Structure 1
Amino acid sequence: MSVTIAPEATTPPSATPGGPASTTRSAAAARERTADLEQLIVQNPGAYRVLTGDRPTGALHLGHLLGTVANRVRLQNLGVEMFLIVADYQVITDRDDAGDLPATVREVLLDYLAAGIDPECTTIFTHSAVPALNQLLLPFLSLVTVAELERNPTVKAESEAAAERGGRGTSGLLFTYPVHQAADILFCHGNLVPVGEDQLPHLEATRTVARRFNQRYSAAQPYFPEPDALIAQSPTILGSDGGKMSKSRGNALELRATEDETVAFFRRAKTDADRAITYEPERRPEIANLLQIGAYFTGTSPQALADEVGSAGAGRLKTLVTEAVTEGLRPLRARRRELAATGSRHLAEVLARGNAHANAIADRTLDDVRDLMGMRY
């Protein structure tokens, strides 16, 4: 299936991975481009193909919902063609034990479907089930240098985190992660990728791979699109300890949590000593976090919610947020229980259909790449 490149596409200034000044310029350009893209998506959603996904390291949590999943459902419902990858190969980038992957993938699938991902509209597939996608990694690696990989800030950060967790050195898979991600995006000719600003260097690596492949093997008619970034508008959601919500930190509220667990989570959430509730993300990040969560589930703004609570204090704010989240997640949790009760057969069928579709596209792409590289014998 061919994909139409984004209408009136422009190419933002390139950023050197790891270069602060160029990254700033790239982020500014990406934010400006995102505003234009949002309008273009509404006008012609069929012009876009999105690749996004998660590492299956545990069930999804509130940070995933507000940070990525809700936006995926929004784009899907607008009519954008979505590819959602369960990146099981990426679980082993920084750990020796992947855990019970079948069980974890099942939990992630339950979360996706319960949150509104529709497998009739969105292709859900796993890394390990699409060999042709992963084979693209080989020619793509020839298009980047070791120095470019070493400068990637996310590779640096993940390497440091992996070392802190167990003293393991950087694996080759982690080191080449930006190129593997390029294969994820380009195998299906994805031309739009929802990302946070901290992920822009990764997307720039994908754009670089696409550009260099086209220049080297398909100069007359570029084969791969240089995908645009759709900058996430949602803030980073904090966990109960005030740090970024994360499964590995043990500070997350899972989507599948019970109502009692939800109450307990917000009861222990960090606040500050000021009684008056104000929305000041820089000065009062913990209070701002609660306001952002509450605003999402009540359909208001963080500032309006702060004005409503006023001098009633953090206790009142926690009560309002707890009630809003509990009520807001009730349909999702009910749907999740219904899906779980049907057994694993339905989930296996969803994944089998998605894997088959992804394989068909990846096989065609790899065949095209072999032809363009003169490797058809």
Structure 2
Amino acid sequence: MPNEGSYEAALKRSDQIQADLPQHPENYTMLTGDRPTGRLHLGHYFGTIKERVRLQDLGVNTNIIIADYQVITDRDTTEHIRDNVYNMVIDYLACGIDPEKTMIFTHSAVPEENQLMLPFLSLVTEAEMERNPTVKAEQAASGHALTGLLLTYPVHQACDILFCKGNIVPVGRDQLPHIEITSKIARRFNERYGKVFPEVAGLLTSTPLLPGLDGRKMSKSYGNAISLSMTAEETAKLIKKSKTDSERNITFDPEGRPGVSALLTTAGICSGRDPKEIADEIGMGGAGQLKRYTTEVVNEYFAPIRERREKLAGNLDYVKDVLHDGNRRANEIAHQTLNEVREAMGMVY
């Protein structure tokens, strides 16, 4: 975790960029993405997808990577990966990502982007990679041995960001170390070989963390996540099944009442209301009333997204076209950047 000083500095920089974005969107190139390990859920939507749509609509040059190679950092199989990738594209489009404005592409289809790993790995030390808290957390969560790919994950992310000259990355506070290592790589490359890469800043997202339905982190593996691909009926069923407690009076207490508070947070974020206000309103109505209200506001919020999703799911050829076009554009950009890198390093023969 970066020290408080560097967090304060990152926050200040992020606030400056947020203020400048509406005035000068053309000065910014955003890169962000997801690992296709399963279905995207409400945590992804409110945590990052909504922000991507906002930046895209402001006129920022937006790019989304589906990090398929990163699936094998801590897993021994790529079973279901194609299905996960196509569903991810469907989710993005249903949520408002416009392929005319945003480039959507996959790691494995852009070899020249991945080739940046070689010069970039020479710019970081083993200690710097091992110190990265996200790598440690991911390894601990998966219980998997530390693979070389997981160890170099932050460097691979630097390739993702820098190949398209990305200079802003929407992140939560816990991901700031990734941005720091990307900035370090860009700076060291520019100092050593000549200026090719921009300065990179994290765009800190202000969205409150959306917990899973049981109060723990929202995760498919915990079975506590409402996926964007779920129907209204499946959502109702999942919310109905969620664990609350035996106290009838509904109060907002994330520490003492994680299950009840998770439902209140979900209802609050979907209705734009304060969870405490919802709790006061339901009061002695108990968990049954809370679950009904949460189901209603979640389903109402996601109805138009689900409608678009259903249409897209029935048109897989279009979804594939979007991906092929994104991959084609990404390859053109990667080719150009790799040429600049070779040029700077004197490796043009």
TM-score normalised by length of structure 1: 0.88
Aligned with 2:105: secondary structure? Answer: strand
Question: 2:88 maps to what in 1?
Answer: 108
Offset of residue 313 of structure 1: 3.3
Offset of residue 273 of structure 1: 4.8
Paired with 1:244 and 1:335, the residues of 2 have a C-alpha distance of 28
CA contact (8 A) 2:43 2:211 kept: yes
**Could you tell which deviates more after superposition, 254-263 or 136-145?**
254-263
Aligned with 1:229: secondary structure? Answer: strand
Paired with 1:301 and 1:37, the residues of 2 have a C-alpha distance of 28
Which string of whole-angstrom CA distances, capped at 9 and with x for unpartnered residues, describes residues 254-296 of structure 1? 1111222111211222334554444444554443332232122
Question: 1:256 maps to what in 2?
Answer: 229
Question: 2:299 maps to what in 1?
Answer: 326
* Residue 80 (str. 1) matches residue 60 (str. 2): yes
Paired with 1:304 and 1:39, the residues of 2 have a C-alpha distance of 30
**Could you tell which deviates more after superposition, 111-120 or 39-48?**
39-48
Offset of residue 31 of structure 1: 2.4
Question: 1:26 maps to what in 2?
Answer: 6
CA contact (8 A) 2:214 2:262 kept: no
Equivalence map 1:60-79=2 (5 Å):
60-79=40-59
Question: 2:154 maps to what in 1?
Answer: 178
Equivalence map 1:142-153=2 (5 Å):
142-153=122-133
Equivalence map 1:8-157=2 (5 Å):
18=1, 22-157=2-137
**Could you tell which deviates more after superposition, 330-339 or 261-270?**
261-270
Question: 2:321 maps to what in 1?
Answer: 349
Paired with 1:32 and 1:270, the residues of 2 have a C-alpha distance of 39
**Could you tell which deviates more after superposition, 354-363 or 301-310?**
301-310
* Residue 210 (str. 1) matches residue 186 (str. 2): yes
Percent identity of equivalent pairs: 54
* Residue 374 (str. 1) matches residue 346 (str. 2): yes
* Residue 270 (str. 1) matches residue 223 (str. 2): no
Cα distance change, pair 268–31 in 1 and its aligned pair in 2 (3 A): farther
Cα distance change, pair 259–211 in 1 and its aligned pair in 2 (3 A): same
Paired with 2:318 and 2:224, the residues of 1 have a C-alpha distance of 31
Cα distance change, pair 272–227 in 1 and its aligned pair in 2 (3 A): farther
2:330 maps to amino acid: A
Question: 1:7 maps to what in 2?
Answer: none
Paired with 1:28 and 1:310, the residues of 2 have a C-alpha distance of 39
Paired with 2:235 and 2:305, the residues of 1 have a C-alpha distance of 14
Size of the aligned set, in residue pairs, is: 349
Equivalence map 1:310-321=2 (5 Å):
310-321=283-294
* Residue 199 (str. 1) matches residue 175 (str. 2): yes
Paired with 2:148 and 2:32, the residues of 1 have a C-alpha distance of 22
Paired with 2:59 and 2:278, the residues of 1 have a C-alpha distance of 32
2:163 maps to amino acid: F
Cα distance change, pair 41–276 in 1 and its aligned pair in 2 (3 A): farther
Question: 1:232 maps to what in 2?
Answer: 205
Paired with 2:301 and 2:22, the residues of 1 have a C-alpha distance of 26
2:168 maps to amino acid: L
Offset of residue 54 of structure 1: 0.4
CA contact (8 A) 2:214 2:258 kept: no
C-alpha RMSD over aligned residues: 1.7
Offset of residue 305 of structure 1: 2.8
Paired with 1:38 and 1:280, the residues of 2 have a C-alpha distance of 32
Paired with 1:206 and 1:273, the residues of 2 have a C-alpha distance of 48
Q: 1:297 aligns with which of 263, 270, 291?
A: 270
Aligned with 2:21: secondary structure? Answer: helix
Paired with 1:361 and 1:301, the residues of 2 have a C-alpha distance of 44
Paired with 1:208 and 1:287, the residues of 2 have a C-alpha distance of 43
Which string of whole-angstrom CA distances, capped at 9 and with x for unpartnered residues, describes residues 112-167 of structure 1? 1111111011100000111111000100000000011111111111222232xxxx
Cα distance change, pair 283–212 in 1 and its aligned pair in 2 (3 A): farther
Offset of residue 366 of structure 1: 0.4
2:171 maps to amino acid: V
Which string of whole-angstrom CA distances, capped at 9 and with x for unpartnered residues, describes residues 206-250 of structure 1? 0110111111111xxx32112111112122222233321112333
2:241 maps to amino acid: R
Aligned with 1:124: secondary structure? Answer: strand
Aligned with 1:212: secondary structure? Answer: helix
* Unaligned ranges ≥5, structure 2: none
* Unaligned ranges ≥5, structure 1: 1-17
Cα distance change, pair 282–38 in 1 and its aligned pair in 2 (3 A): farther
